[in-house]
Structure formats: C-alpha cells, structure tokens
Structure 1
Amino acid sequence: MTDGAGRTPLTFTAMTYNLWGRWRVADRMPALRGMLRLRQPDLLATQELHPVSRDTVDAALPGHDRVHDDFPGWATRSNLWWRRDLFSTNGHGAEDVGIRSEHARLFWVRLRRPGAPELVFATAHLTWPGHPDEIADDRSPRVAQSRAIVAALADLAGPDDAVLFCSDVNDYARPLWTFQDAGYAEPFGWLGTVSPVTHPVYPLALAQPPRQPGVQITQKAIDWQFLRGPLRPRSAEVVEYFADGVAPSDHKPVLCTYGFPAEREDER
C-alpha cells in the first residue's frame, strides 16, 4: 500500500540507551547482550559508549550497521546503529554543540528507505550536573547545549525530512522545553501518557554508594526521544531488564515504535 506520492508506510523501533561507560563494564556485558538480542531494536542510539560495549552491541545485533569513523567519540561517547535490511546511510557527522566532555558531540547519521522520507537520526549526551565546571559556576550549560542541537539539526534536515533525536538530557525541564519550542514532540506525551523513571536502575551496581545522592539516586526521567517531521509514535516504553540480577546499565533504555505516515498530516 502506498500513498499518493508513492511512499510506502514503514513501522520501526528505536531505542536510546546510556551504557554507563567503563563502570563495571565486563560484569554488565552479558546482560546487555541478552537485552539487545531479546528486544532487537531497528535503530539504536547510545550514550556513554565504551569500546567494550560497542563491540558487545555489534555482536548482539549482527544484522545492523553503525558509523565507522576515525573520530574517537564514535568509540568513547556515542554511536548509532540501524538495521541494514531496513535502511541505508547517506552520510554522518559529529557536530560540536558545547558539551563539556572530550570528544562529546551531536552525533548523527542520515538514513534512507525507498519510498519513505529521509531520516536524520542523532544522539547527544548533555553535560552531567556534577561536572566540575557546573559545580564551580553553579550554572547549567544544558539549555545552551539543547539550543545548539536544535540549530544543528535544523541545518542537517531538509523541510521534508524526518528527525529523531535521542538523548540523556541530564535534566528534567528546560532542555526539554527547548525542543518543544522548536517544534519537536516526544512519544510519551504524543500518546497521552508520561514517561516512567529512566534513572537510576535499582539496586545500583556499585560497591559504594554515590557521592552525590541528590544527583545520582533521585529517581528521574532523563532519557528521551524527540521527533519532528513526517514521523508518528505508535508506542513508548521504558524497558526493565536484569540477567542473573545484573542490569546492563545504571540507566533504563527507552524503546519506541514509529511509523512514517501514509499522508503528511498537519494535525495529530
């Protein structure tokens, strides 16, 4: 079935997942493999990536491609995976949007599917509130970062493109409003509900309790997917998963289903 413009409607799943960097990385990889093999997201955006977790994702999703690039951030900060039988790539990049970590960027890839709009699929990890610079000056950098991301995505996406931006925003309010003000939606609100907690997973996989309890153990929803253009949410879930009592990360992944509409709607 196609619409009048010859486009084929396509439904796919997308997951965003903060993989918690190097923390107990070897202990957590069996759980990460198990969760990804069970859920098999068509698209996967990661934050706090590590070479070990990157290789684990590759092994768990053999039908997927990801970005291969010499810039170190693609191995140590974020990367993007897509099912090769659903999408092909039409370029990728890493834009400096002021995130306060070495090699941290807005990472993006442009994806193609015959008969469907092009999709700009992107991810970024906004600065953690416990960063030494933020502790020193007592000012959040995340609003400026989110505005820079909105501007960068506007440059990357054409008027007929779909955009899916996945992020650990490390905040609960103003960065989200920045995306809303720029015309982005998020799947939970679109579907008439609210996001469950995404951080922290409990019990925490740490030998010692966190040093900043107000930051680390306050339950919060900080992992989000934002969409714009010809893309429609069909479902949204925060995934609970343990294997032998171990979670893959201190964050929970957010898994959503999307469809390219058969017709470009002006109203929801």
Structure 2
Amino acid sequence: MTPFTFVAMTYNLWGEHRLRARRDALKSLFAVREPDIVGVQELHPKSRALIDDALPGHARVDDAFPGWGSRGNIWWNRDMFHLTEYGAEDVGIRGEHNRLFWVRLKPAGRDDLPSLVFSTAHFTWPGHPQERLDDVNPRVDQARHTVAALDRLAGDGPCMFVVDINDYARPLWVMRQGGFTDSFAALGASSPPTHPVVPLVEPGSGWAAPGAVQKALDWIYHRGPLRPRTTEVVDFFYEGQAPSDHKPVVATYTLA
C-alpha cells in the first residue's frame, strides 16, 4: 500500500507576551515550515486567529470550552485528515482551563489505515506558586494521568503526544514507561535545546538574560504503528525577530 507520511509540529506560542512584535515572525514560520498537523501550547485568542490566517488549508477544534482558545489547540491539513472525535481531559495541570487536548483523525481516503489520536498539553511551570510553596513536582503525576488517558483513548492504535513538559527527568521517564518514544530517541539522537531562544530580541534590553540555562522542554512522542523518518528543532527568525521564546520541534512520520 502507498505509505501515508505527514509532518507534525509542536510549538509553545508564548501567550500574548510581545505578540504584536512577533506576529509577522509567527506568520512567516507557518508559511515557510507549514506542518500537516500541529499542537500548540500557551495559546491566546489573538495567536489562534493568526494561525487560522496563516494556515487556510487547515482546520482546528472549534468548541465553546475556553481552553481551546486560551491554552492549547490542534490544527490539521483538511486534505489529509478528517476529524471524527475530540476532547479535553483533566490530567491535573494547574491553572484554569489547562487540559490534555486531543483529536481523533482519520487519514483521508485511506480505509486501510487506522485513525490517529493526536494530543497536546503544557505541563505546569516549575515556578508555579503552589510548587514553590510545597516543593513537590506535579509533572510526574501529570505524565501518569496523561499516559492513562491516552491508554483509554488510543489503546494500541497510533497515538501522538506533543508537549512542553517543563522538566528534564522524571516526567520523561514516565512517558517512556508508558510505551511512548520521542522522535529523537527513535532515530538514535538526542534533542538539542528548545528553550530559551537565543538571541531573543527584547526592546531596551538587547538579548535574553545572560546565563539562561539551555534545555529541551518540547517533545513529540509517539506510540503504536508510527515510524519517524526525520526530526529537528527549528531555528527560525524573521527580520531579526524570533516567533516565540521556545523553538518548534518538527518530525516527519509514516503511519503504517
């Protein structure tokens, strides 16, 4: 059978922070590196409208629940996928309307292929007031609840989870124990840092703070009959402006 190959992206959009200055860079990124499916974090109604304009051939979830417009959402190429189901699962992520956002997509015109569950989340920032107060890492349980939710939603079928995991150790181990592999590890590689973007142009201050720790926070995980072919952390600037303080991660997959 003809292989079904698509490009997936994960991107933390940095909320509304300096969005007016970044809007042309964001639009340019999606025009130059147009993904077939993208899950985003730190969404804002203004950035959602911007992506709608930048990806006219894509659809997204349109739902009254506020989190789909203010926390996360998923866009997919209408010619490649058809939406059959979607939802927002509470997996313990702190903050109002924070959820595990997911869609079930059927490859267009391919009755021989199973549907794909694609999901996105933004795990709690380590500087959250509750974590600073009790000194307990909530992202471990968030990862466990995420695995349990995706077990229920996808079973052994093809499943992808894109995330700003806001951590470097324990939650990643939980995902691996749950049968998920990140796109870099599957190809025998290690992820370059995804945060912060350097140089990050800030009016009046020049660059990002000196000594900022470079870390890989953004991941594309997969499980089931999916094969990554290529993956990268994308360095992108438009007229000297970065689209976000995070770098997008992109991977090309084949659905078996």
**TM-score bracket for this pair, using the shorter chain length:** over 0.9
Q: Which of 65, 77, 100 in structure 1 is aligned with 2:71?
A: 77
Q: TM-score, normalised by structure 1?
A: 0.90
Instruction: Give yes or no for the alignment of 1:223 onto 2:218.
Output: yes
Runs of 4+ more than 3 Å apart: 205-209
Aligned counterparts of 2:13 and 2:162: Cα–Cα separation in 1: 13
Aligned counterparts of 2:65 and 2:172: Cα–Cα separation in 1: 28
- Aligned to 2:181, what secondary structure does the other structure show? coil
Deviation readout 1:37-67 (Å, 9 max, x if unpaired): 0111000100000111111111111100000
Deviation readout 1:4-63 (Å, 9 max, x if unpaired): xxxx42010000000000100111010010010011100010000011111111111110
**Structure 2 residue aligned with 1:20:** 14
Gapped regions of structure 1 (runs ≥ 5): 3-7, 262-268
Q: Which amino acid in 1 is paired with 2:80?
A: L
Shift of 1:207: 4.8
The answer to whether the Cα contact below 8 Å between 1:36 and 1:61 also exists between their aligned partners in 2 is yes
**Structure 2 residue aligned with 1:65:** 59
Q: Which amino acid in 2 is paired with 1:98?
A: G
Q: Which amino acid in 1 is paired with 2:59?
A: D
Gapped regions of structure 2 (runs ≥ 5): none
**Structure 2 residue aligned with 1:177:** 173
Instruction: Give yes or no for the alignment of 1:37 onto 2:34.
Output: no
Q: How does 1:85-124 map to 2 (within 5 A)?
A: 85-113=79-107, 114=110, 115-124=112-121
The answer to whether the Cα contact below 8 Å between 1:12 and 1:258 also exists between their aligned partners in 2 is yes
**CA pair 178-34 structure 1, distance change in 2 beyond 3 A:** same
Deviation readout 1:173-199 (Å, 9 max, x if unpaired): 111110100111111111111101100
**Structure 2 residue aligned with 1:164:** 160
Instruction: Give yes or no for the alignment of 1:259 onto 2:250.
Output: no
**Structure 2 residue aligned with 1:264:** none
Coordinate RMSD, CA, aligned: 1.5
The answer to whether the Cα contact below 8 Å between 1:125 and 1:167 also exists between their aligned partners in 2 is yes
Instruction: Give yes or no for the alignment of 1:195 onto 2:191.
Output: yes
Aligned counterparts of 1:43 and 1:205: Cα–Cα separation in 2: 28
- Aligned to 1:79, what secondary structure does the other structure show? strand
Aligned counterparts of 1:218 and 1:158: Cα–Cα separation in 2: 37
Q: Which has the higher strand share?
A: 2
The answer to whether the Cα contact below 8 Å between 1:205 and 1:250 also exists between their aligned partners in 2 is no
Task: State the aligned residue count.
Answer: 250
The answer to whether the Cα contact below 8 Å between 1:47 and 1:78 also exists between their aligned partners in 2 is yes
Q: Which amino acid in 1 is paired with 2:143?
A: S
Shift of 1:204: 2.6
**Percentage of identical aligned residues:** 56
**Structure 2 residue aligned with 1:5:** none
Instruction: Give yes or no for the alignment of 1:139 onto 2:118.
Output: no
Q: Which of 239, 246, 254 in structure 1 is aligned with 2:241?
A: 246
Deviation readout 1:115-163 (Å, 9 max, x if unpaired): 322100000000000111111111110000000000001111133x200
Shift of 1:260: 1.3
- Aligned to 1:82, what secondary structure does the other structure show? strand
Q: Which amino acid in 1 is paired with 2:91?
A: V
**Structure 1 residue aligned with 2:152:** 155
**Structure 2 residue aligned with 1:52:** 46
- Aligned to 2:155, what secondary structure does the other structure show? coil
Aligned counterparts of 1:54 and 1:208: Cα–Cα separation in 2: 28
Aligned counterparts of 1:136 and 1:53: Cα–Cα separation in 2: 32
Deviation readout 1:200-231 (Å, 9 max, x if unpaired): 0012344587xxx79x9210000001100010
Aligned counterparts of 1:148 and 1:217: Cα–Cα separation in 2: 31
